[in-house]
């Protein structure tokens, strides 16, 4: 029996699942995790909270996760209220809920490629069709071009990844405003990496007032060092959030997840304290890559896309053989690497320098 013999949905035939390699290498810089563990004192408090929740785990959890929504609203600021917040098991599930409510069969979702590889997979999973737009050669998008591409495609859902994965490219607010005005659909600004952007830069949260079709999604997986806990969230108009209740599974956020996330949010400043360190490693990575003769693309995230790689598959393998796992995301001449701890970043840079360099 193989997949081909099964009565699989037609649109899923021949497709491959999300598959970033999970190899047990000493230096894992391939999926943009926060490579710093949760600080000890916070881990203890999270454990206590989970232990308490466990005592009532015979009961279903709060289906509306009210306390957690309030806590996210406090963290986000910008006047966001609890009824404007939604959360799920990772921002992947948050985005899936948006697509289940607003895309689906006969509808379309759009993004400027290259962009986060899960958008097309999530869209297809709901039966929607994916439309890939284009970027400038340096991976930026201009307001005029963005608006005209979106107006032409007339999608039901637009994804704006800000900053963009896998390129790290910032997205200015004027692009978001232009796209919003060019469509009647839902505009999702995916701010998974927002905390790594320069502190003085404005978040798309500032655009939420008077934009009822705008969604700003976030995750605890990156800056909060919480990828294994699976917690993502979004802010949007309360009516839009209400629509997501139509598609979520009842009790989708377990009592243990809610307890863990609430405890982590109580310690937000400590959880986030590695962000500046990661940003400095990212900048060191970019500077050293340039010195080695590669092109490091501007990044406002916790990773760097670098070009000028003659044979990305060979360089990826050369690093792998030295115990360093990075990502070949299929952009010609490019590889992507996550900023690690100082030691991990050094290990990557030394391994790369030992392989080859374009300079
Ligand atoms: N959005 C972007 C742009 C991402 O890069 C990722 C993870 N790599 C996600 C969303 C999903 O993250 P999670 O489900 O862990 O919140």
Residues 221, 341 share a domain: no
The two three-digit tokens of residue 215, written as one number: 């969604």
Q: What pLDDT, on a 0 to 100 scale, did the predictor assign at position 2?
A: 84
Domain that holds residue 88: 40-266
Q: Is the CB of 156 under 6 A from ligand 1?
A: no
In a domain, 55, yes or no: yes
Percent of the chain with pLDDT over 70: 99
Q: What is the whole-number distance in angstroms between the Cα of residue 11 and the centre of ligand 1?
A: 24
The response to whether residue 43 sits with its C-beta less than 6 Å from ligand 1 reads: no
- Whether residue 89 is found in the same domain as residue 155: yes
CATH assignment of the domain containing 142: 3.40.640.10
Residues 94 and 156 placed together within one structural domain of the fold: yes
Closest CA to 233 of 98, 118, 47: 98
Q: Residue 274: give its domain's CATH number.
A: 3.90.1150.10
Report the chain's mean pLDDT, rounded to a whole number. 96
Residues 288-300 pLDDT 10s: 999 999 999 999 9
What is the atom index within ligand 1 of the atom nearest the CA of 115? 3
pLDDT at 357 over 70: no
Q: Of 322, 228, 337, 304, which is closest to residue 26 (Cα–Cα)? A: 322
Q: Which of 224, 245, 266 is the last residue of a domain?
A: 266
* Ligand 1 atom closest to Cα of residue 231: 16
* Residue 321, domain member (yes or no): yes
Q: Do 60 and 97 share a structural domain?
A: yes
* Closest atom of ligand 1 to CA, residue 91: 16
67 and 177 inside one domain: yes
pLDDT of residue 217 exceeding 80, the answer is yes
pLDDT at 225: 94
DSSP 99-120: HHHH--TT-EEEEEES--THHH
Token pair of 289, please?
Answer: 């890559």
> Can you give the pLDDT at residue 358?
72
What confidence tens digit (pLDDT) does each residue in 140-166 have?
999 999 999 999 999 999 999 999 999
> pLDDT confidence of 16, banded at 50, 70, 90?
confident
Check pocket membership of 116 for ligand 1, CB cut-off 6 A: yes
Does 72 share its domain with 209? yes
Answer whether residue 346 shows pLDDT above 90: yes
- The helix/strand count (H/E) of the chain reads as 12, 12
Share of the chain above pLDDT 90, in %: 91
Q: Is residue 111 located within the same domain as residue 221?
A: yes
* pLDDT at res. 1: 83
Q: How many domains does the chain have?
A: 2
Which of 266, 290, 310 corresponds to the end of one domain? 266
How close is the Cα of 149 to the center of ligand 1, in Å? 24
Any domain includes 12: no
pLDDT, tens digit, 9 for 90 and up, residues 224-282: 999 999 999 999 999 999 999 999 999 999 999 999 999 999 999 998 889 999 999 99
Residue 163 falls within a domain, yes or no?
Answer: yes
The pLDDT assigned to 135 comes to 98
**What is the end-to-end Cα distance of the chain in Å, rounded?**
52
Domain-terminating residue out of 236, 266, 296: 266
**Distance (Å) from CA 120 to ligand 1 centroid:** 13
Ligand 1 center–CA 91 separation, angstroms: 6
In a domain, 45, yes or no: yes
282 and 236, same structural domain?
no
Residue 4 located in a structural domain: no
| Residue 3 belongs to some domain of the structure | no
Q: What is the mean pLDDT of residues 205-221?
A: 98
- For the cut 90, the answer to whether the pLDDT of residue 50 exceeds it is yes
Give the pLDDT confidence score for residue 17 in this predicted structure.
87
Q: Which residue from 118, 196, 305 has its CB within 8 A of the most atoms of ligand 1, so it is best to mutate?
A: 118
The residue among 68, 62, 51 whose CA lies nearest residue 255 is 62
Query: Which protein residue has the closest C-alpha to ligand 1 atom 14?
Result: 90
The 10s digit of each residue's pLDDT in 73-122 is 999 999 999 999 999 999 999 999 999 999 999 999 999 999 999 999 99
Q: Quick check: is 10 in a domain?
A: no
The response to whether residue 90 sits with its C-beta less than 6 Å from ligand 1 reads: yes
Torsion of CA 147, 148, 152, 154, to 10 degrees: 10
Instruction: Return the pLDDT at 300.
Output: 98
CB 85 within 8 A of CB 135: no
Based on the domain organization, do 74 and 133 belong to the same domain? yes
Give the distance (Å) from ligand 1 centre to CA of residue 227: 9
What's the pLDDT band for 24 if we cut at 50, 70, 90? confident
* Cα 92 to ligand 1 centre (Å): 6
Same domain? For 80 and 189 the reply is: yes
- pLDDT at site 4: 85
Q: With a 6 A CB cut-off, is 140 part of the ligand 1 pocket? A: no
319 shares a domain with 218: no
Residues 23 and 55 in one domain: no
Mean pLDDT, residues 199-208 taken together: 96
pLDDT of residue 69: 98
Is pLDDT above 70 for 359?
no
Segment 59-75 mean pLDDT:
98
Half-sphere exposure of 312 (CA within 13 A, CB side): 16
């Amino acid at each position: 029996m193989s997949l081909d013999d099964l009565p699989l949905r037609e649109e899923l035939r021949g497709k491959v699942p999300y598959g970033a390699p999970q190899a047990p290498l000493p230096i894992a810089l391939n999926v943009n995790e926060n490579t710093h563990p949760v600080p000890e004192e916070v881990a203890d408090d999270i454990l206590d909270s989970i232990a308490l929740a466990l005592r009532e785990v015979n009961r279903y959890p709060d289906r509306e996760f009210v306390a957690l929504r309030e806590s996210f609203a406090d963290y986000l600021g910008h006047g966001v209220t609890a009824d404007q917040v939604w959360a799920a098991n990772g921002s992947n599930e948050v985005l899936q809920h948006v697509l289940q409510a607003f895309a689906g069969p006969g509808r379309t979702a759009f993004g400027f490629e290259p962009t986060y590889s899960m958008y097309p997979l999530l869209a297809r999973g709901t039966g929607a069709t994916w439309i890939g737009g284009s970027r400038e050669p340096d991976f930026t998008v201009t307001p005029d071009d963005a608006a005209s591409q979106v107006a032409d495609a007339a999608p039901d859902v637009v994804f704006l990844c800000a900053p963009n994965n896998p390129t790290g490219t910032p997205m200015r607010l004027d692009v978001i405003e232009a796209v919003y005005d060019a469509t009647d659909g839902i505009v999702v600004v995916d701010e998974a990496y927002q905390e790594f952007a320069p502190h003085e830069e404005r978040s798309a949260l500032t655009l939420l007032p008077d934009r009822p079709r705008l969604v700003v999604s976030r995750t605890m997986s990156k800056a909060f060092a919480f990828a294994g806990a699976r917690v993502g969230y979004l802010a949007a108009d309360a009516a839009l959030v209400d629509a997501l209740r139509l598609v979520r599974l009842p009790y989708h956020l377990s009592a243990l997840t809610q307890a863990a996330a609430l405890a982590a949010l109580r310690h937000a400043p400590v959880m986030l304290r590695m962000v500046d360190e990661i940003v400095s490693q990212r900048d060191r990575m970019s500077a050293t890559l340039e010195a080695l003769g590669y092109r490091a693309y501007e990044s406002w995230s916790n990773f760097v896309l670098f070009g000028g790689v003659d044979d990305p598959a060979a360089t990826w393998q050369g690093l792998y053989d030295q115990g360093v796992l990075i990502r070949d995301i299929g952009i010609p001449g490019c590889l992507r690497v996550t900023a690690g701890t100082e030691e991990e970043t050094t290990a990557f840079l030394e391994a790369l320098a030992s392989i080859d360099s374009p300079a």
